[in-house]
Amino acid sequence: GDVVSADRLTDGIHLVVDALKLNEVEAVYGVVGIPITDLARLAQASGIRFVGFRHESAAGHAAAAAGFLTGKPGICLTVSAPGFLNGLVALANATVNCFPMVQISGSSERHLVDLQRGDYEEMDQLAAARQFAKAAYRVHRAEDIGRGIARAIRTAVSGRPGGVYLDIPAAVLGEVIDAQAGAASLWRVVDPAPRQVPEPAALDRAIDLLASARRPLVVLGKGAAYARADDQIREFVERTGVPYLPMSMAKGLLPDDHPQSVASTRSLALRRADVVMLVGARLNWLLGHGDAPQWNADAKFIQVDIASTELDSNQPIAAPLVGDVGSVMQALLDRTGSGRITVPSQWRDELAARSAENVAKMAKRLAAAETAHPMRFLGALQAVRDVLRENPRAYVVNEGANALDLARNTIGMQVPRHRLDSGTWGVMGIGLGFAIAAAVESGDPVVAIEGDSAFGFSGMELETICRYGLPIVTVVLNNSGVYRGDAAASESGDPAPTALQARHDLMIAAFGGKGYRATTPDEVTAALREALALGKPALVDCVIDPTDGTESGNIAHLNPKGITVQR
């Protein structure tokens, strides 16, 4: 048509961008290609921050982390078939971790795909996504784009958050419709995650149970961190005096040096507690499913969770509290004056005594590691810990086997939602995507503490970090191997399956970032301090003793035991 009538027209691409803006989406993480390149360009031109990655799973992990950090669904944009599948890894991981995220993917021509005529990047993406996501939707008409985006956002963030797939075929992106009708078809989601409060009887049941406890324990999970109920949680824990255990991503909800934290006496706390209140934490493998002998077989459970189907998944829940953590904790506070729930001093003393023993044991290990040559994990991590203490606002991203176990226990968090890690799946590959999201969403510095194997899954995103000039320091704990780096080569001369070799500091230099190689804790300290002060992309390759580290870290028991394989 002529120029005048084109003014009165819009298309699918514009409608997607307009719908995202109307719903206050500020950043989109993705990888461009057919059919979404113009969508990314238009998003950027309209003021949305488009962050272009090298691989879709890293872009997806970034969107998931953005969802956790902001409480609004992170948006990932992918191309058809292979790009879509790469992103799907992150969508599935987001769903498992209860992070709100929407993966918007272009897809190929429906009339070709559905008859399997062999289209460019042919795949039934909707069917593929469905089993890995909280929900999957497809838009067939440009006039439904606003509805599709509203529905995706609502589904991702309400109730138990998760990953939502939104399929938009190329033909819909290119569909031209009347601009006024298009604008009228968009809407803004009102109160995307409505609050939910349990009834008074349920609250009283929980309070009575907690009040009857002789050895009560609160477990805080990442659902509690996600809920942004920091004040209510702190008030409840401190008013009742109940000892609490932070799951890894709940660290910092209360500062890790809090006197009521039982992080240093976790096994005793689980084994002995008689009433356990789970707050946004599942009784999954990370908590031994609540089973004896790791847990007291007679323990009674209170569970605060937004998802009612989570309750009774592993153990009988004596006092269910279905609702959002913020509302539930507030309601509990309103009904428990001081003195209603108290903690017998015997329990506090028992925990304190064990904690003192464990801290002393750990202090010896830390002291030995400080002077060890070659450097050990704990030598490097103490240096990282000390520099992070000078930078309490820095975000910490953490993945690996030993790198995860040891960093989690060594590095305390002071503020909520500043630690992002391998999460519910124990997945590798989240590292740089999570780090990029933390930097983009907050503008604050990020330290990504990575095992050398874990780093490799998203290592190419160093280029993304450098291209956007993000204040991320990647610390690679490089012991030249998966788990360890000391396995002998095979008889054929091939390296062992667990072997790795890399100078990661040289890698970042190729992209214009600053690389450091550290062989002693002092060098780690100096490098990390300088890198954080510069506020520029940097990587510290920490050369770790290849004999340091244990197979599979803390979860070696999950390896199948058949006829013994020589390690």
The binding track of 310-329 with respect to ligand ADP, each residue x by CB under 6 A or -, is x-------------xx----
> Cα separation of 249 and 418, whole Å?
8
> Cα separation of 421 and 399, whole Å?
6
Note whether 391 binds ligand ADP by CB under 6 A. no
Kindly report the backbone phi and psi dihedral angles of residue 421, in degrees, each rounded to the nearest multiple of 5, phi listed first. Answer: -145, -165
List, edge to edge, every strand of the sheet that includes 74-78: 49-52, 27-30, 74-78, 101-107, 163-169, 135-138
The token pair at 316 is: 């009988």
Note whether 165 binds ligand ADP by CB under 6 A. no
Note whether 306 binds ligand ADP by CB under 6 A. yes
Q: Which is nearer to ligand ADP, 177 or 281 (CB)?
A: 281
Q: Which is nearer to ligand ADP, 253 or 394 (CB)?
A: 253
Note whether 98 binds ligand ADP by CB under 6 A. yes
Q: Quick one: which of 163, 221, 433, 471 contacts ligand ADP (CB under 6 A)?
A: 221
> Cα separation of 290 and 270, whole Å?
9
Classify residue 302 by its DSSP letter: E
Note the residue count of the chain.
567
Minimum distance of ligand ADP from residue 60's CB (angstroms): 18
> Cα separation of 316 and 326, whole Å?
24
Work out the number of other CB atoms within 10 angstroms of the CB of residue 467: 17
Site residues (CB under 6 A) for ligand ADP, limited to 16-55? none
Q: Quick one: which of 122, 305, 450, 463 contacts ligand ADP (CB under 6 A)?
A: 305
**Contact (CB, 8 A) for 142 and 168:** no
DSSP β-bridge partners for residue 244: 218, 261
Q: Quick one: which of 9, 171, 197, 307 contacts ligand ADP (CB under 6 A)?
A: 307
Minimum distance of ligand ADP from residue 223's CB (angstroms): 2
Minimum distance of ligand ADP from residue 451's CB (angstroms): 20
The token pair at 43 is: 């998003």
Minimum distance of ligand ADP from residue 276's CB (angstroms): 13
Site residues (CB under 6 A) for ligand ADP, limited to 417-476? 424
SS (H, E, C) 22-62: HCCCCEEEECCCCCCHHHHHHHHHCCCEEEECCCHHHHHHH
Task: List, in sequence order, the alpha helices (H) in 179-321.
Answer: 179-184, 200-212, 222-226, 230-240, 266-272
> Cα separation of 287 and 174, whole Å?
49
Note whether 247 binds ligand ADP by CB under 6 A. yes
Minimum distance of ligand ADP from residue 260's CB (angstroms): 18
Minimum distance of ligand ADP from residue 352's CB (angstroms): 24
By Cβ distance, which residue is nearest to ligand ADP? 223
Note whether 250 binds ligand ADP by CB under 6 A. yes
Minimum distance of ligand ADP from residue 400's CB (angstroms): 17
Minimum distance of ligand ADP from residue 540's CB (angstroms): 28
Note whether 72 binds ligand ADP by CB under 6 A. no
DSSP β-bridge partners for residue 35: none
Q: Which is nearer to ligand ADP, 86 or 424 (CB)?
A: 424
Note whether 543 binds ligand ADP by CB under 6 A. no
The binding track of 274-303 with respect to ligand ADP, each residue x by CB under 6 A or -, is ------xxx-x-x-----------------
Q: Which is nearer to ligand ADP, 278 or 432 (CB)?
A: 278
**Kind and range of the H or E run holding 475:** strand 472-478
Buried b (16+ CB within 10 A) or exposed e, 133-153: bbbbbbbeebbbbbbbbbbbb
Q: Which is nearer to ligand ADP, 424 or 480 (CB)?
A: 424
Q: Which is nearer to ligand ADP, 333 or 502 (CB)?
A: 333
Chain residues that interact with ligand ADP, rule: CB under 6 A: 97-98, 160-161, 221-223, 226-227, 247, 249-250, 280-282, 284, 286, 305-307, 310, 324-325, 424
